[in-house]
Structure 1
Amino acid sequence: MPSFTDTPEGFRSGFVSFVGRPNTGKSTLTNAIVGTKIAITADQPETTRHPIRGLIHRDDAQVIVVDTPGLHRPRTLLGERLNAVVKDTYADVDLIGLTIPADEKIGPGDKWIVDAVREIAPSTPIIGIVTKLDKVSRDQVAVQLMALYELLGGDEKKPVVIPVSATEKVQIDELIDVMVSQLPEGPKFYPDDHLTDDDTETRISELIREAALSGLKEELPHSVAVEVDEMFDDPEGRDRLNIYAIIYVERPGQQKILEGPGGRRLQSIVQRSRKEIIELLGRNIFLDLRIKVLKNWQSDPKQLGRLGF
């Protein structure tokens, strides 16, 4: 068996990051391209909070997709730190994919992102990706592709633009082909069986946060954070992993919303996240989930550090 450092002649490899306004489908697209769920998704903007690397393995290439938080004008210290992480990521990747939903008009926010990316990484190529093509007609997709082409420089720069649907798995292989064509020749960075470099505790906490965000209104999700407190094999010999985790919110009223009447919403969060964690780990688990108020943690440097931001 060859090691992952042995690569054939002409092999291409590199890091690709998707950029776009929050909620443009970056995480859903990352999962579709990698072929398994490595990034959580939700209807609310700014769901992703840290870079997640997913691997695409081909005979002729290895693509490392880095899913990042959406680049945005920050309102809190957390937002400022997320933007700093995003900018560091863009400065180090080989290719950037700008995601624009097919069902939303291109606006000043998109131009702001393009300008910001070009300032951070002036020599990094940018491809345009129209997401959610299944939501509109072919004519609307064509109009959006032309608008994205112009946003990225038009005939002067001749950018590559491509429409995809991550949920319907339309044009995913074609997008991978485009990404590979833009990458430099290079070695494999990871073994062939590697799917992500995210650690298990982080993936578990993210699955819990995804379950907690389900059905919430837009103003609350920013205030939700999850920390895995303890994780150990069952001390009584049962074949299960015991996980103790905490959901943090900023105000008592938010805690009541997450708990729901009679604690029913919290029970539902436990059930949904437990199912996802069992699928991730491939074994039975016991999940103890509690909610605590951490006042204004998004703007508290000490608490942000404690929560890993």
Structure 2
Amino acid sequence: MKKRFLATAVMAATMAWGAIVNAGNQNIRWTVHNLSSSVPTGATLDRHWYSDETDQVCIFCHTPHHAQPAQPLWNKVNPTQAFNMYTSSATLSSVAKGATAPGPESLLCLSCHDGRTAINVIHNGDIGTDAQPADGGSKVLSFAGWGNYNPDNPNHQALAMDITVFGTPYRANLGKTGIASDAERFAGTNLMDDHPISFSYAAAQSEKGAAVLHPIESARSAGMRFFGPNRDRMECSTCHDPHVDSGVGYDGLPTGSGGNNALRPFLVRDNAGSALCLACHNK
């Protein structure tokens, strides 16, 4: 009953958050974002990170009670450090260069992918979706599996995970400044080598013109998603959907779900012929 309630609450919250979930086959149980001890019957899901303490799939991101922030019923400890944003391109619009911090939607993603905030530390993590530690603090879930776990990380888990994106190795630890030391791997601040986020796409398009960027209506019709009060802000979830099932696991092996492989890694649409990139960029 609690699991059913959690799923319903999460669905309602996500709809209120601006229809974040709208791309591809929504079946997170078959993806590496399922960090629980439970996988679907018949799944051949290869996961390097999962908890042996809970079978609740949604709990690693969502909770029906004591959420922080309230939308979208968030159960993670969001990062509070200052980030260094992408500004190096000479062709970058002044609007994008003016972004000084990730927006609230991207902070949700960075609560795991900054490489510093622990993926196993959540607000409500006891058995029972409405449970909370007596001291009002956070719950640390034990993890099984294997990966780059380092006990020297003050945040309990290292997030130096490898996935393959567009045919090349890519670090799911987006905030690292290097790999030579713990300080570099756990820096959690470096977004200077990642696509710019948290700026008004409409304003950037107006500045650069249709010869460089397609109008926002065109990008939306191609499957791109924008956020904020004006529904025009580019964030991580403009291109990525954490719930989408691409039919492959951590190592790129089939899971048996029948999901669309072209949506790996968690894309809102396929990138065949750079279609995802060209939804915004006029090249």
**TM-score band w.r.t. shorter chain:** under 0.3
TM-score, scaled to structure 2: 0.25
> Which protein, 1 or 2, shows the higher relative CO under an 8 Å CA cutoff with sep ≥ 6?
2
TM-score, scaled to structure 1: 0.24
Greater C-alpha radius of gyration:
1
The structure that is helix-richer by fraction is: 1
